Structure 1
Amino acid sequence: MAGTGGQYYDSKVMSQLFGVSVRRIQQLTQDGVIETVPLKVEGRTVRRYELVPTIQAYTKYLADKAYGREQINTEAELKEQKLKAEIALKESQGELHRLRTAIAAGEYISIEEARADYTKFFAVLKRFCAGLPSRVTGMVGTRIDPVASRALEKDLNTEINDMLRTFVLAADAKDGGDG
């Protein structure tokens, strides 16, 4: 806007002059329809609207809107949105490429490898758990009679097998039951 060395007003005065709310004046400023200028008032900088250029800009905006020239701005906005979308697409393609490169470099393991490792781990864990009752009864066998020792071993076997079965069923339910 060309300066005229004229009068400067705040948004409240401009809203009264244009017959709109102060918020609408702020929106028009944010959208670039009208502009503020910095002024030094009592040692601090404030932003004010210069009367003549602001009226001219607002009048032009209303005329463009009335004659359909506002669509040009909409097209520019659409082009800007398209550019932003293209940038986002390129960024996501770059991220995908980085992930593929990392996978190829061995920084990630496949689901099949993870399943195989877990399967091996749980097989070893199951063998260890299944061996616990006989180990425990072997440790306490000299302190209790043989009938109590066999009953303890049987109870421990039942408890461990029930827990392992529950664990396997829960894993199958979470995994979809396919493996």
Structure 2
Amino acid sequence: MSEKVKAKMIDGALCIATSELCEVFSVHRNTIAQWERSGMPKKARGWYSLKDTIKWVTENRGVKKNPDDEEGMTLSQQKLKYEAQLKEQQAEAATLKNAIAKGEYIKREDVVSELQRFFISLRRSMGGFSRKIAMEISPYLEPEQVRLIEQNIADTTNAALLQLSVRGVYDAKKD
């Protein structure tokens, strides 16, 4: 019975057979085929340069010290990282879509429209506020004082509404 050749020299490089490569890395033949499709160099059908193969496996399949550093990651680790990030983003999008379907979110246009109607109503109500106060105090004061109070209330109300519309906050002036 003849024993199969497990190593030979090809183009000046020490090459080993697929079966020996499987033993060296403790992997299955299918893994070697997958590595080959991923770019692992080979010298001939079923023969791999030991030096080149060890270098390729170390660079492309080895575990680096800092997996968060993209430069220190293998291509497969980078792919895995970005696939995980994609899955996270897809999960967030699905969660948002479900929340929208449940009615937990309101369309921006609906909110803007409703707020515009509210603030128009508020402005009209506040605009008539100074006139109403003036009518209430007119029997007790001189007409000139009533007009001055009405104007001060109207100016303060308009200033407050303007500040709310521009900055969203009202800062009362201290006299």
TM-score (norm 2): 0.51
Distance in 2, matches of 1:104 and 1:149, equals 56
Structure 1: which amino acid aligns with 2:57?
A: I
- The amino acid that maps onto 1:138 is M
1:72 Cα shift?
1.6
Q: Which residue of 2 aligns with 1:153?
A: 150
Q: Distance between the aligned counterparts of 2:52 and 2:98, measured in 1?
A: 54
Question: Which residue of structure 1 lines up, in the alignment, with residue 57 of structure 2?
Answer: 72
SS in 1 for 2:105: coil
1:85-164 alignment, distance < 5 Å: 85-164=82-161
Structure 1 position 90, deviation (Å) = 1.3
Taking the aligned partners of 1:68 and 1:85, their CA distance within structure 2 comes to: 26
Deviation at 1:116, TM superposition (A): 0.9
Q: Which runs of 5 or more structure 2 residues have no equivalent in the other structure?
A: 1-50, 62-73, 169-175
Structure 1: gaps of 5 or more residues: 1-65, 172-179
Query: Which has more helix, going by share of residues?
Result: 1
The aligned length equals 106
Q: Measure the CA separation in 2 of the matches of 1:79 and 1:129.
A: 65
Structure 1 distance, partners of 2:128, 2:108, is: 30
Output the TM-score relative to the length of structure 1. 0.50
Identity in percent: 28
Q: Distance in 2 between matches of 1:74 and 1:143?
A: 93
When the two chains are superposed, the root-mean-square deviation of aligned CA atoms in Å is 2.4
Map of 1:63 onto structure 2 = none
The answer to which structure, 1 or 2, has the higher relative contact order (CA under 8 A, 6+ apart) is 1
